[in-house]
Amino acid sequence: MNRLHIAIPKNTPTNKDKIISSFKDTSVFIFDFDQTLTKDHIYHLLDSEKTQLEDLGAPPYKDKEVCKNLKELFEYLYKNNKTILIASRNFNDVIYYYIRQNVYPHFSLMNIFTDRHWFFNKEIIKVDIKNEGKFKCLKILKELGVPAKSILYVDDNYQEIRIARELYSDIQYYWKDSDEILSLEWLNSIFNKE
Ligand SMILES: [Mg+2]
């Protein structure tokens, strides 16, 4: 079986070096899901028989600190009229359940390929459609003419960041540490650094 290998350069840049524009100029925030918005890798917690988060029983995934900070972050981005996208290969229903239950009750699942008004309706938080590929949202953003420098992509996996930047050069990105918690403080630290 052929497997795609993507080499990671030895001198991978530090993530904070790549946040170059201001918060005001950044209009679209794209987040990976597993271990970017969550502490556990939820996709790996699920097996093929149990694709619903409820089926895991006692939630091993639930981390109150992570969810509380994420809730504040999402509400802040929403209030500041930012577009939030979740780009993931995890199941749509798992992401939907997790975010609605733990983070943001107004979360909406939309097919951004057929419902183009998503971009202009800031009341909705969107998730990419798994079957369409994790990075198809970048293609749509390109079609909409969204400048690369107004997009911030956040992922815990540098290989994924490389793919995103190959698809959309000059996109801003943040390579998150696995134990780092996304929060308002985090947002402040990346946009208000010296
Ligand atoms: Mg991840």
Query: What is the CA(178)–ligand 1 centre distance, in A?
Result: 9
Alpha-carbon gap, residue 93 to 108, rounded angstroms: 11
40-63 pLDDT tens trace: 888 777 765 555 666 655 455 567
Contact 104/75 with Cβ under 8 angstroms?
yes
Can you read off the two tokens belonging to residue 69? 């900070």
Q: How far is the CA of 135 from the centre of ligand 1 (A)?
A: 13
**What residue spans define the domains of the chain?**
21-191
Q: Residue 7 C-alpha to ligand 1 middle, in angstroms?
A: 18
- Which residues hold their Cβ within 5 A of ligand 1, which is an ion? 32, 34-36, 156
For residue 94, report the distance from its CA to the centre of ligand 1, in Å: 14
Q: What's the pLDDT tens digit per position in 154-193?
A: 999 999 999 899 889 889 999 998 789 999 999 998 887 6
**pTM listed for this prediction:** 0.82
Quick check: 42 and 33 in contact, CB under 8 A? Answer: yes
| CA nearest to 112, candidates 89, 76, 93, 87 | 87
CATH assignment of 21-191, among 1.10.1200.10, 3.40.50.10320, 3.30.413.10, 3.40.50.1000: 3.40.50.1000
> Which residue in 41, 141, 122 sits closest to 82, CA to CA?
122
Distance, in Å, from the CA atom of 98 to the CA atom of 20, rounded to the nearest integer, reads 31
